[in-house]
Amino acid sequence: MTFANRTLVIGGAASGKSRYAEEIALKSARSKVYVATAQVFDDEMAEKVQKHKLQRGDNWHTVEAPFDLCPTLDAARPDQVVLVDCLTLWLTNHILAEHDIESETAKLVDAVTRCGAPVILVTNEVGAGIVPESALARRFRNAQGRLNQTMAVHCDHVITVIAGLPMTLKGPSP
């Protein structure tokens, strides 16, 4: 199977986007690297992370990188495929830490662009709902929209997943 260098998989919460992104990676004979951006702050998240690890199985090398994705992307080899799940949590981590989002996004784009392995990025579509009530939620929604647009420009394939069904928005289907 021929892989795109960069694939963005976008969808709403519980849309099936992560499962679909994993399926893309599993079609490859390459070794799999899973980059987890979640931070575990409560039992519910710990349970979710454990469930995902069991679901993926032992065929994945997992790297926890809630903030800096560059070292993992820079270290990726051509015989690997890297799945980053997800950019939404990565962005949340940076917003809550009050980091410069434009600077962090620029570093991410550079790392994804120079990565020596195919990269699959998972992200949430958050702009299809109502206008959030709080200033922080509106700031997040706007930053997520800008991040998604930026990453879509720099990816060869962009796929949206709705109700578990993938639809190609850019490039040929993987």
Give, as one character, the DSSP assignment of residue 131: P
**Contact between 76 and 113 (Cβ < 8 Å):** no
The end-to-end CA distance of the chain, in Å, is 8
Q: Exactly one of 52, 94, 99, 157 is catalytic; name it.
A: 52
Q: What is the CA radius of gyration of the chain?
A: 15
Is position 157 annotated as part of the catalytic site?
Answer: no
Q: Do the Cβ atoms of 34 and 75 come closer than 8 Å? A: no
Task: Count Cβ atoms below 10 Å from residue 35 Cβ, excluding itself.
Answer: 24
Active site residues: 52
